[in-house]
Chains A and B, each alone.
Chain A
């Protein structure tokens, strides 16, 4: 991140109606400069229930994505389109090159695995010798090959899917070349699912192009979000406290949140019971309940729509401590 050069716009990836950030540097930048924490929701693909802490990608709220677009800090990229276009742009030689690269990686891995299992075998034999059981079961230790071969075929079975995912529309060709170029020891190969799928070698698998889609949160919410964000508040989703946003006065790692925010249109009616519920809940968790909205001129005024400075107005509610 150069200090002087203008920062290139961040890619906010639009995937199935959600706004995701994949790059950890972008996430750090958003948090420090734009007071956006988002929500991490990535899990280990093989063991979704085995990790306590979630990782990449980071999901942004609609309001956050919109603000970044409005400020020209980020652009929305249609994720599936970005991959599809990149794959279309690849030439035959590119594809062959990618395949060769992948095969090379896989061969390396196979070799490493073989060496490791050989070592393990030797260690087991040593162990057996040391404990004096070597004589009784030499055959068992010496013949793990059928087992291994089975494992190999298991991976080979899944291989079509993996290469199809990488290849996208041109997948069929890739697969057929793959079978031709791996004639004999293909069964031994382990297929690698790459962690970062944006490129293989020097071949980009994504063409990030700005999408026409613009995040469109409800106006009352967006105005209130923008106002509090501009004051330096860190906003996060309010589900846990039954509100729209939870506002932190600084980084959530350092501060407790202060406000449970509910945005309203200027003339939207709110039942007193909602106010009481919010106020009582907020006070119970040492916060205040806030209702806010964009101020509109009195409709009685002649030029109601030519309001000069329509600011957001906020009201904070707490239990009074009696009654």
Chain B
């Protein structure tokens, strides 16, 4: 579907995001996703419509809150960056899927839906069938901003 020129553009975009995640935001366990087989071993090796990144942020990015006690801890861990002391006790943060996009792009709901439809359904948890991605928006001066996008209705973290 995509031409080779577009593909190489998307790959360049990803390399910008990759180095930003690695060296500015200290993500670890980073893996590049190019085909459906990279997402799911049993899937065919069809190329993804857009290349993605799979990696682990230094701190938990988002917690679905099954109980009230964990909701408060989720809030503090995401909003206050000064809670690094107990990092050894806490379990490692969840792995996240990152989708690099350029600021000048225009995407339809169909395009967003196809990104989510390729992702495996997360196992466990109350919001088990709620998928999420991190959208990495790259601008011309290589500034990268990150947004969490959920598939479906998910209550905002701070509310």
B157 x A272 contact (CB < 8 A): no
CB distance from A101 to the nearest CB of B (A): 55
Q: Given A272-B105, A272-B106, A316–B147 Cβ distance below 8 Å? A: no
A270 x B144 contact (CB < 8 A): no
Binding stretch for chain A, among B2-10, B29-37, B45-53, B148-156: B148-156
A286 x B158 contact (CB < 8 A): yes
Residue-wise interface mask of A (213-253) relative to B, using a CB-CB cutoff of 8 A (1 in contact, 0 not): 00000000000000000010000000000000000010000
B61 x A321 contact (CB < 8 A): yes
CB distance from B79 to the nearest CB of A (A): 8
Binding stretch for chain B, among A17-25, A125-133, A260-268: A260-268
A286 x B108 contact (CB < 8 A): no
Kindly state the separation between the CA atoms of A322 and B108 in the bound complex, as whole angstroms: 25
Binding stretch for chain B, among A66-74, A112-120, A169-177, A288-296: A288-296
Kindly state the separation between the CA atoms of A314 and B137 in the bound complex, as whole angstroms: 20
CB distance from B87 to the nearest CB of A (A): 16
Interface residues on B, range: 35 or more
CB distance from A273 to the nearest CB of B (A): 6
B146 x A320 contact (CB < 8 A): yes
CB distance from B16 to the nearest CB of A (A): 12
Residue-wise interface mask of A (114-147) relative to B, using a CB-CB cutoff of 8 A (1 in contact, 0 not): 0000000000000000000000000000000000
B128 at interface by CB-CB < 8 Å: no
Q: Given A258-B159, A323-B144, A316–B150 Cβ distance below 8 Å? A: yes
Within 8 Å by CB of B109, from A266, A283, A286, A298, lies A266
B152 x A314 contact (CB < 8 A): yes
Question: Count of A-B contacts with CB under 8 A?
Answer: 116
Q: Which residue of A lies closest to B20 (CB)?
A: A323
B106 x A269 contact (CB < 8 A): yes
Kindly state the separation between the CA atoms of A313 and B104 in the bound complex, as whole angstroms: 24
- The listed residue with most A CB atoms (<10 A of its CB), out of B136, B155, B156, B157, is B156
B155 x A258 contact (CB < 8 A): yes
A276 x B137 contact (CB < 8 A): yes
Kindly state the separation between the CA atoms of A286 and B75 in the bound complex, as whole angstroms: 12
Within 8 Å by CB of B148, from A249, A258, A290, A320, lies A320
Complex interface residues of chain B between 123 and 149 (CB less than 8 A to chain A): 134-137, 144-149
User: Can you add 16 more A-B contacts, CB < 8 Å, to A269-B108, A320-B61?
Assistant: A264-B108, A266-B108, A266-B110, A272-B105, A276-B103, A279-B147, A313-B109, A314-B153, A315-B112, A315-B150, A315-B151, A317-B149, A318-B147, A319-B148, A320-B147, A323-B20
